[in-house]
């Protein structure tokens, strides 16, 4: 079976959707099938290649709108996408997210070629593009994009129950959940590669309490408010793994802005941190970092974003913030840091829940069952 994965952004760009796509494509290859990822071009990378995992990658020419956060497919890219459909002759298509121009083109191409497709959505709100007329235009565009994709007939899935609810905004009833996931054993193997003691690396004492943030350093993610909160906690340091416009502000507030560190180092930080905090106001779908924190047994403090109702179904699994003010964050951090035994009990409960329900093997098995069902229906036609 040949499966085309359409993902507007992909590795080496770091993010939840990118790793979601890679994990599914990797397991497709390991299962003896052919995986082709169609994504956006990046400077210095070839238009076509096969990576060491055996995944074929096709990169389409795009305009990097919003500093690359919203790649818009160029006319030459639309032609390249069409060629990919013709040359690869896929049995099934997986389209990541509902609002990119690539998603629209992929859905229409799949319809023209009679290839069954599904759309997996990852957000619980409109893309933040600003207020006023710009914000209105962005919302109208998303409504139009969803309408165009919906008319091609694919089934829609969300990565969390909250995403499925949000899809109703566009008149879409999700077929079900294909949750975000992790591979706990692989994460531990990755962390063991060239192990590093982060307190020693940062010149901190062994008893320094580490609070960790992982993600893009943009205002919606709340890293600056977290840095301000940590400033008021003696013997505590915030390490922010990620990059973005808020990086200089975090440094001004005394945080360690580690930049976009390799993933294995992120996992090492999660294994060594006292608390992982994500005070996001962003329209998250199901943050991968929450799952990775749970897999590493790191106590979690976060806003009630998408996925928390599944991963952290009660206070025995993690701590949810009532708001994202520095004062509220500081108080919640102090409670966790002052009672590490209780914090670790919550972390163990979250890890058990994750291992039971949110692994890539389970999600891949579900997607393959959907693919096989859809291809049988196509053959029946």
Its sign, for the CA torsion 282, 285, 288, 291, is positive
User: Residues with Cβ < 8 Å from 208, sequence gap 6 or more?
Assistant: 199, 235, 236, 237
Lowest mean pLDDT among 82-96, 101-115, 367-381: 367-381
Mean pLDDT of the chain: 93
3-class DSSP assignment, residue 118: strand
CA nearest to 284, candidates 108, 158, 137: 158
Q: Does the pLDDT of residue 25 top 90, yes or no?
A: yes
Residue-level pLDDT at 341: 97
pLDDT score for 23? 94
Burial class of 69 by CB neighbour count within 10 A (0 to 12, 13 to 18, 19+): middle
Cβ 8 vs Cβ 71: under 8 Å: yes
C-alpha to C-alpha distances, 356 to 189, 228, 271, 352, 362, nearest whole angstrom: 20, 36, 20, 6, 9
Q: How confident is the model at residue 14 (pLDDT cuts 50, 70, 90)?
A: confident
Q: Distance between CA 91 and CA 196 in Å, rounded?
A: 44
Rounded to an integer, the average pLDDT of 316-335 is 96
Confidence class of residue 381 from pLDDT cuts 50, 70 and 90? low
Q: What is the DSSP string of 152-167?
A: T--EEEESSHHHHHHH
Q: Taking the model in full, what pTM does it have?
A: 0.81
Residues 9, 101 contacting (CB under 8 angstroms): no
List domains and CATH numbers for the chain: 2-181+359-380 (3.40.50.2000), 184-357 (3.40.50.2000)
Q: Report how far apart, in Å, the C-alpha atoms of 112 and of each of 18, 72, 82, 279, 373 are.
A: 26, 21, 10, 43, 20
pLDDT tens for each residue of 194-247: 888 999 999 999 999 999 999 889 898 999 999 999 998 999 999 999 988 999
Rounded to whole angstroms, how far apart are CA atoms 156 and 176? 8
How many other C-beta atoms lie within 10 A of the C-beta of residue 86? 10
Q: How far apart are CA 381 and CA 146, in angstroms?
A: 27
């Amino acid at each position: 079976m040949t499966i085309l994965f359409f993902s507007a952004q992909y590795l080496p760009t770091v993010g939840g959707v990118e790793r979601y796509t890679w994990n599914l494509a990797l397991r497709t290859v390991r299962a003896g099938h052919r995986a082709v990822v169609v994504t956006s071009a990046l400077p210095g990378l070839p238009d076509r290649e096969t990576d060491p995992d055996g995944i074929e990658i096709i990169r389409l020419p795009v305009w990097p709108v919003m500093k690359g956060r919203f790649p818009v497919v160029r006319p030459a890219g639309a032609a390249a996408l069409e060629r990919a459909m013709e040359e690869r002759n896929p049995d099934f298509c997986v389209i990541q997210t509902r609002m990119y121009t690539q998603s629209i083109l992929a859905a229409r191409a799949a319809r023209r070629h009679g290839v069954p497709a599904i759309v997996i959505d990852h957000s619980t709100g409109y893309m933040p593009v600003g207020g006023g007329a710009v914000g209105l235009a962005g919302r109208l565009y998303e409504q139009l994009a969803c309408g165009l994709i919906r008319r091609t007939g694919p089934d829609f899935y969300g990565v969390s129950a909250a995403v499925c609810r949000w899809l109703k905004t566009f008149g879409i009833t999700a077929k079900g959940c294909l949750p975000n996931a992790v591979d706990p054993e692989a994460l531990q193997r990755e962390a063991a590669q060239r192990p590093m003691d982060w307190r020693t690396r940062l010149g901190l004492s062994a008893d320094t309490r580490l609070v960790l943030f992982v993600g893009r350093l943009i205002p919606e993610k709340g890293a600056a408010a977290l840095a301000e909160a940590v400033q008021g906690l003696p013997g505590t340091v915030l390490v922010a793994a990620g990059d973005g416009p808020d990086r200089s502000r975090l440094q001004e507030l005394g945080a360690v802005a580690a930049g976009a560190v390799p993933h294995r180092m992120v996992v090492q930080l999660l294994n060594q941190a006292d608390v992982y905090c994500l005070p996001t106001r962003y329209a998250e779908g199901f943050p991968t970092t929450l799952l990775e924190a749970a897999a590493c047994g790191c106590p979690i403090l976060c806003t009630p974003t998408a996925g928390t109702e599944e991963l952290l179904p009660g206070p025995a699994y993690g701590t949810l913030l009532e708001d994202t003010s520095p004062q509220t964050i500081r108080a919640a951090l102090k409670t966790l840091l002052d009672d590490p035994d209780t914090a670790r009990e919550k972390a163990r409960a979250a890890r058990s829940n994750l291992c039971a329900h949110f692994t890539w093997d389970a999600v891949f098995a579900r997607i393959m069952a959907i693919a096989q069902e859809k291809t049988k229906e196509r053959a029946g036609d």
